[in-house]
Structure 1
């Protein structure tokens, strides 16, 4: 939720690394790679040379086809996370307590189920992982929490959360600043959630990434608390989403909003593999000797071509909006197909927009 308002891809069946990063069945990814085979409604195309955002990122097209629409009586929007399902379709979570199934090619909604906590109260759902058994791991930034849901929205499990990461007064996190991103690392044994903003007592801009380790020999549904890492955002930005890459690194979205100016959205490649476990460090100052997660800028989305996009409020590039969800939909030889989505907050001056990117890592 906004706090203020050309590569040829191989068949994923041949790629072990692809199976590990996306964790779900090979068939699902084979279908998911076809997401960019045909442009959905409202997509725009220009000459290939006009699609470059940076040396590492290009944009194929965007789609506003779902903006301000409804499905089965439910508003289609408020999207905060995307994930590839095992059959190649997309799962999408709304921060207004709805879990959608979208067609992997056209993005058209196919089903929707309501989400709630154990007492039946609505969630501020932000992160989404489709586990290998088809169940959904969904984070809510209200408490914060990570729960496991069945495909029809029943709660099956709830993961432990360190006290310090809980919202004040139970912990040191600020409201609307907790678990935004959620991803499974290669192999499917480690789950990682990204906090959006720093804890009270930590230096501004240093956010924590919490992990859990799968118990039961790597095949069970249950997770126990694991290592924690520190990541420094650019000034004034938070982390709305994170996705694991095939080699154990992370795609990290950083985002901010300035009234009268618009959104800032940057895509980073981050490496947590040599970062310090910060779970035992009470206050992260940047001067405490802890090795932070290293990051490399892949693209500032403001530098992407607008491709004819229009904005309903001031933006430094009319293509930009409140981008919050991300899924890796294909992979081959260090190149990813990445799908982004914006959260329109059900706001007349914001747009539900999907972005089809090609990313070289």
Structure 2
């Protein structure tokens, strides 16, 4: 039954009987590494964070010798044995958590919990939930309650099955009570969003355990039903699958974990004099703190307009202006969309913008003053092969360099990984810069389809050219959400030939991708990292990168050997820390100024004495051709090395 309880209501005083952590045990099982199924990198983080939370006395406080963490089991016995051992120690509550892929039996739609060796269509290589249920019902122990939490596809299947079978067998419910919470309905897949530290359901479950929720301000304890309520509403608000639950004999109504809001606010045991106006003041302060946290550290009093420009969380970076004027702007019968790269024309003062959709083309833009952007599209130039045919399908342009002299451009493309040179006046392809073999798609190379040569930049003198991968090559480091990428530097002349001269290893932050590079000189870059989650918005970080002491990794793997093979980097700014300005995003974002930024270009010094020693930095966002995203242009003043 979804969202409710079965069985009689708890007896008087039942809410005073807490799920006692000292007399309970928990088994946390997670499968993220598979031989045949897609990996789930976030599952390992699920286990680490959930164990910390359940062990914390400020949350639940289950003892160390009453906790089992099972990582990547290969056999059914490796799952079942810890549950049996935990049941022998538990007297009050046995909690079992599973995260991984869930598969349905093609014969009867029974749910199977996967092992590392599991394969679709092979139920013997997984643990059926029926077997887990039987284990929980058969263990010989004095445990009074069972709590099962399933974070896998189709996990809601177990609710329908249990209600019928337990009515006959009495298993599990023959004890004082049981509780099941699942990440999805029986016909829905669970979500592990790309770039997220946790799976969608477990991430919200952890928040409910450890973070404040004002609706339960006066509760000393939180129950499983209250936690489910918070998790359900949060997931639905983000458009994610709806979790399910089933409670027997009032277990969902029993005090489970300490309320983090009362822990932090001191409301659990308020001093006698904290009454009336003083308590009201304390609540007001708490609400201000909560509002500040929710807005990513930016809070403005009612009636006061937020600034449209100013520092971005550091003295080295200031936002000058933003503009959405290019968003779906018409030009010669089409709408501008999908802008993925930006290049400045120092001669004309214009900018070139490269979209990543079809057909291949380049826009020429006028930007207006940096302190008050007024971008306009002036013309569009189609891109053609050397034989004169149009690049009409699968071009996927990502990086753009206007070569010195302003007559030719270099474009990096992901559809078929390449660096192509075009005549800017005619749009005709003139040749290519050779890519390392590993940067090509299999079987010739090891690059990922649609996540390969993303960024392209050149030094002002054109002597050095850099191309950066968006995602790791097959076999390169990709651990705990941090990607080990490659940046290839070339040496040559603008409009002429380039040869590879050094390859660097670059590590992204957790859940981020390398989206753009800007060359400051032959050994220093700016790197733009981008990430995004449905319902949470985008993360846009810009880093200073120092290549001077980095190893050449052209002949080996990235991630092998010592960590000092990676380039050094330092955060320059987080876009979410900039003032929100007058722009408004259509999707939830950590700050309304944030959009899906993919392009970046450094310009001349901005005007004004206050910007002495700084350069202009322009950013452009990619709306991916979607009406609920925006094409947005940013101008910032940045102090560079």
CA deviation string 1:245-268 (max 9, x = no partner): 258411110001111111011010
Unaligned runs of 5+ residues in structure 2 are: 1-193, 196-304, 369-373, 607-611
Report which of the two has the higher share of helix: 2
CA deviation string 1:85-104 (max 9, x = no partner): 13221111111222011114
Aligned partner (choices 56, 65, 82) of residue 342 of structure 2:
82
1:209 and 2:209 matched: no
1:150 and 2:418 matched: no
**Change in CA separation of 1:222 and 1:186 when aligned onto 2, cut-off 3 Å:** same
Alpha-carbon distance in 2 for matches of 1:237, 1:345: 18
Alpha-carbon distance in 2 for matches of 1:289, 1:236: 19
| Structure 2 residue aligned with 1:34 | none
| Structure 1 residue aligned with 2:322 | 62
Unaligned runs of 5+ residues in structure 1 are: 5-43
Report which of the two has the higher share of strand: 1
| Structure 1 residue aligned with 2:402 | 130
**Change in CA separation of 1:47 and 1:223 when aligned onto 2, cut-off 3 Å:** closer
SS at match of 2:604: strand
- By relative contact order (CA 8 Å, sep 6+), the higher-ranking structure is 1
Alpha-carbon distance in 1 for matches of 2:411, 2:417: 11
Of 145-154 and 51-60, more deviation after overlay is shown by 51-60
> How far apart are 1:191 and its partner, in Å?
0.5
| Structure 1 residue aligned with 2:535 | 260
> How far apart are 1:163 and its partner, in Å?
1.4
Larger radius of gyration: 2
> For this pair of structures, how many residues does the alignment match?
315
Alpha-carbon distance in 1 for matches of 2:500, 2:522: 22
> How far apart are 1:305 and its partner, in Å?
1.3
Alpha-carbon distance in 1 for matches of 2:637, 2:484: 28
> How far apart are 1:158 and its partner, in Å?
0.7
| 8 Å contact from structure 1 (residues 194, 209) kept in 2 | yes
SS at match of 2:620: strand
* Paired residues for 1:236-251 under 5 Å: 236-245=511-520, 248-251=523-526
TM-score normalised by L of structure 1? 0.82
Q: Which runs of 4+ in 1 moved over 6 A?
A: none
| 8 Å contact from structure 1 (residues 45, 60) kept in 2 | no
Of 332-341 and 292-301, more deviation after overlay is shown by 332-341
Alpha-carbon distance in 2 for matches of 1:47, 1:250: 28
| 8 Å contact from structure 2 (residues 538, 590) kept in 1 | yes
| 8 Å contact from structure 1 (residues 262, 316) kept in 2 | yes
Alpha-carbon distance in 1 for matches of 2:613, 2:438: 37
Alpha-carbon distance in 2 for matches of 1:210, 1:247: 12
| 8 Å contact from structure 2 (residues 540, 575) kept in 1 | yes
Alpha-carbon distance in 2 for matches of 1:176, 1:53: 33
**Change in CA separation of 1:219 and 1:313 when aligned onto 2, cut-off 3 Å:** closer
Alpha-carbon distance in 1 for matches of 2:601, 2:495: 24
| Structure 1 residue aligned with 2:38 | none
**Change in CA separation of 1:143 and 1:237 when aligned onto 2, cut-off 3 Å:** same
